[in-house]
Amino acid sequence: MLEVLAVIAIVAYVIGRQLLGEPLRGKRVILLPLVLAVVGLTRLGGHGAVRPVDVALLVVGAVIAAAIGTGQGSMMRLRDRDGGLWGQMPARSLWLWAALIGSRLTLMLLASTMGAHVAASSAPIVLMLGINRLAQAAMITRRAHRSGIPFAQEKDGSVFLGGRLQELNSRLDGLTGTPSKPSGPSSSSHPSSPSGPSNPTDPYNGPTTRR
């Protein structure tokens, strides 16, 4: 019960920040969901033996959570503010959160009828939330790279991953055959200065604006 209440509090906090808009720092965007996914994975063993039916339902849940996260990442409005990434989720994105919650409840009921005790428990909730956030992070990161906008600065003035992230995205573009838009040297070597062209274009949202 406490675990469920904690997840509800986390989701409410995330939704509130995204609707209001916030600077998107790499550690919060990428590392926090990764921690959630790892913690959720380690908690699965505490609810009995994981059977094949549990694994099947968990995989289905993970695919759904990732698909919804990708949609959330595509829907987020990204901007270049003070030389760093800033994002805001439109109110219509709330239906995606409803879909995520509804899919989890549906799978829990289905797992209960099939005797999949692990999949029917509250243990997978944190794991699915982590997977959902990671999928959103992947989409946001790709969009920001294509628009030439680096992550917002961390509290110490650094930019998470910096040039390493650009190199990784370039390699992924090469593997998929997708042309990559260069993000300019300022996004990796000078994170505090505006990066790329004066009006970078997000292929999902159109021209971004600087404030």
Longest Cα separation, the chain: 58
Residue type, 180: S
pLDDT in tens, 86-141: 999 999 999 999 999 999 999 999 999 998 888 888 889 999 999 999 999 999 99
> Which one is predicted more confidently, 60 or 156?
60
**Which structure tokens are listed for 145?**
């790279």
Residue 190 has pLDDT above 50, yes or no: no
CA distance linking residue 142 with residue 144, whole number of Å: 5
In the predicted model, what is the mean pLDDT of residues 201-206?
A: 52
Of the pLDDT bands very low, low, confident and very high (cuts 50, 70, 90), residue 173 is low
Phi-psi region of 24 (alpha: psi -120 to 50; beta: other; left: phi over 0): beta
The DSSP string of the chain is -HHHHHHHHHHHHHHHHHHH-EE-BHIIIIIHHHHHHHHHHHTGGGGS---HHHHHHHHHHHHHHHHHHHHHHHHSEEEEETTEEEEE--GGGHHHHHHHHHHHHHHHHHHHHTT-HHHHSSHHHHHHHHHHHHHHHHHHHHHHHHHT-PPBP-TTS--SSTHHHHHHHHHHHHHHTPPPPP--THHHH-TTS--SSSS-EETTTEE--B-
Q: What are the extents of the domains in the chain?
A: 2-207
Residue 163 has pLDDT above 70, yes or no: no
pLDDT in tens, 66-78: 999 999 999 999 9
What pLDDT score does 114 carry? 92
Contacts of 14 (CB under 8 A, 6+ apart): 133
Closest Cα to residue 84, out of 142, 157, 12?
Answer: 157
29 with 135: CB under 8 angstroms? no
What pLDDT score does 150 carry? 87
**Which structure tokens are listed for 181?**
């838009």
Residue 170 has pLDDT above 80, yes or no: no
What pLDDT score does 27 carry? 85
Contacts of 133 (CB under 8 A, 6+ apart): 14, 32, 33, 36, 37, 69
